[in-house]
Amino acid sequence: METIAILGGTGKEGMGLGTRWARAGRRILIGSRDAAKAQDAATKALSDAPGASVDGATNEDAARAADLVVLTIPYAGMEAILSAVRAACAGKIVVDTTVPLRQFAPPVLDAMPAGSAGATAQRLLPDARVVAAFHTVSSAKLHKFGEPVEGDVLVCGDDADAKAKVSELAGLIGMRGIDAGGIDAAAALEQLAAVIIGMNQRYKKKSIGVQFTGI
Amino acid sequence: METIAILGGTGKEGMGLGTRWARAGRRILIGSRDAAKAQDAATKALSDAPGASVDGATNEDAARAADLVVLTIPYAGMEAILSAVRAACAGKIVVDTTVPLRQFAPPVLDAMPAGSAGATAQRLLPDARVVAAFHTVSSAKLHKFGEPVEGDVLVCGDDADAKAKVSELAGLIGMRGIDAGGIDAAAALEQLAAVIIGMNQRYKKKSIGVQFTGI
């Protein structure tokens, strides 16, 4: 069975994605700096995914045991966390979901030497196939486990096979993956996510999502 | 009757917007460096908007006579054109639609000191109320005059009344305007447009558009 590690997976986004993929039959390893905290999160995820396979581990152990690694970590923690899992991620698909905000309301992105969190992840993990995706997926919607999320997920990265694989993961939660270009397009995807966060604040909504027409 | 000047309006985007707004009862002035070329474009627009009010003029004359000014000009021409119309635009709403590409396939944006074409326009026209919008509107769809364009238009700028007014202009062509934040959000909107241009190329489509759910 395919094993997906979700590093920093105890937060809302990681728990939403992990629980959804567990319900779809994938083996999930929730990673955290703190293995006990990760195990607590796994127990909670299992309550929403009865009979599924969900375990907790340190980020390092989770990355090592996984076929595919998902990052739901803050941009500020990226360098330390990815340095520690670099060898474990070699050759693997690594999905970066980071929306690198230095301020939440109104949303302001971090200044990033690599131009985006996605490109930063690829630089820090040169031997991994980094794909950036899921930036605009509402965690409120993710947590309504009885309903498909719907809408589109823009997927970018420099490896076409890796992007196709990540589009399949989007399909597992009811969403359509769309190839948005190389990893440098992550800048546009992260900025779009920040715009949507601002729209949620301005219009007092919780789960604005994006959809493309004519494709 | 409200008069809308479309500077650099002889191209596909300008002709599409101008013809649509003319059909919706607005008075349109198509601006160009060359008044004769502008008049030819006006004649062509009238063939798609019988009985409407469309005239051609130099960019300067069009801006001076207008209540509201729309820019469909290349980023490379922005400094020269906007310097010439700065006084004419004072106090007016100026809508920048520029997607500042330095390469079309694959799409690559210009490096811009102000961070975006929209912010550049606001710097060059400090006395105007600049709103950036319509970046992602497919000109192929715009030119199917018998059909509403549909979909959403992200609208950004520092003046709330100006944004509301530009959302009304979106409504005239069948689209919904959504407030996407201050003028600095233009960077995200222009990058999203570049991503969509890339998607059209990758998926061999002509008119991919964007729509937001949950709002």
HSE value, Cβ hemisphere, 13 Å, CA-based, for B21: 27
- For residue B126, how many other CB atoms are within 10 A of its CB? 9
- For residue B105, how many other CB atoms are within 10 A of its CB? 10
Give the mean model confidence (pLDDT) for residues A20-42: 98
Taking CA atoms, what residue in A is nearest to B202? A179
Residues of A with CB under 8 A from a CB of B: 106, 138, 141, 150-151, 154, 178-181, 185, 187-189, 191-192, 194-196, 198-199, 202-203, 205-215
Measured CA distances, B207 to B103, B143, B150 (Å): 19, 11, 11
Q: Tell me how far apart the alpha carbons of residues A188 and B192 are, in angstroms, rounded to a whole number.
A: 6
Given this model, what pLDDT does residue A26 score? 98
Q: Is A40 exposed, middle or buried (0-12, 13-18, 19+ CB in 10 A)?
A: middle
Q: Which residues pair with B95 in a beta bridge?
A: B70, B131
Min Cα–Cα distance to chain B from A196, Å: 8
B7 with B81: CB under 8 angstroms? Answer: yes
Contact at CB, A213 and B208, closer than 8 angstroms? yes
Q: B192 is written with which tokens?
A: 């999203």
Given this model, what pLDDT does residue B150 score? 87
- For residue B23, how many other CB atoms are within 10 A of its CB? 20
Contact at CB, B195 and A187, closer than 8 angstroms? no
Please choose, from the candidates A50, A49, A40, the residue with its C-alpha nearest in 3D space to the C-alpha of residue A20. A49
- Residues of chain B short of pLDDT 50, as ranges, are none
* Residue A150 banded pLDDT, cuts 50, 70, 90: confident
Taking CA atoms, what residue in B is nearest to A210? B212
Burial A137-164 (b: 16+ CB within 10 A, else e): bbbebbbeeeeebebbbbbbbebeebbe
Q: Which residues pair with A54 in a beta bridge?
A: A28
Q: Tell me how far apart the alpha carbons of residues B208 and B206 are, in angstroms, rounded to a whole number.
A: 6
B5 with B31: CB under 8 angstroms? Answer: yes
Please choose, from the candidates A186, A134, A128, the residue with its C-alpha nearest in 3D space to the C-alpha of residue A17. A134
CA–chain centroid gap for A14, Å, is 7
Q: Tell me how far apart the alpha carbons of residues B106 and B139 are, in angstroms, rounded to a whole number.
A: 18
Ranges of each domain in chain A: 3-203
Q: A146 is written with which tokens?
A: 């009885």
The DSSP result for B58-124, as a single string, is EHHHHHHH-SEEEE---GGGHHHHHHHHHHHHTTSEEEE----EEETTTTEEPP-TTSSHHHHHHHH
Name the CATH architecture for the domain at B3-203. Answer: 3-Layer(aba) Sandwich (3.40)
Q: Which residues pair with A70 in a beta bridge?
A: A6, A95
Given this model, what pLDDT does residue B7 score? 98
Given this model, what pLDDT does residue B1 score? 81
Given this model, what pLDDT does residue A197 score? 97
Contact at CB, A191 and B194, closer than 8 angstroms? no
Instruction: Identify all chain A residues contacting B106, using CB atoms and an 8 Å cutoff.
Output: 181
Element (H, E) at B141: helix B139-142
Q: Tell me how far apart the alpha carbons of residues B134 and B20 are, in angstroms, rounded to a whole number.
A: 13
Pairing of strands B152-157, B129-132: antiparallel
Given this model, what pLDDT does residue A1 score? 81
Q: A104 is written with which tokens?
A: 């939440």
Contact at CB, B195 and A215, closer than 8 angstroms? no
Given this model, what pLDDT does residue A79 score? 97
Instruction: Identify all chain A residues contacting B183, using CB atoms and an 8 Å cutoff.
Output: none
> How many residues in chain B?
215
Residues of B with CB under 8 A from a CB of A: 106, 138, 141, 150-151, 154, 178-181, 185, 187-189, 191-192, 194-196, 198-199, 202-203, 205-215
A89 with A71: CB under 8 angstroms? Answer: no
Give the mean model confidence (pLDDT) for residues A185-198: 98
Give the mean model confidence (pLDDT) for residues A75-89: 97
- Contacts of residue A127, defined as CB under 8 A and 6 or more positions apart, other chains included, come to A86, A89, A90, A91
A138 with A208: CB under 8 angstroms? Answer: yes
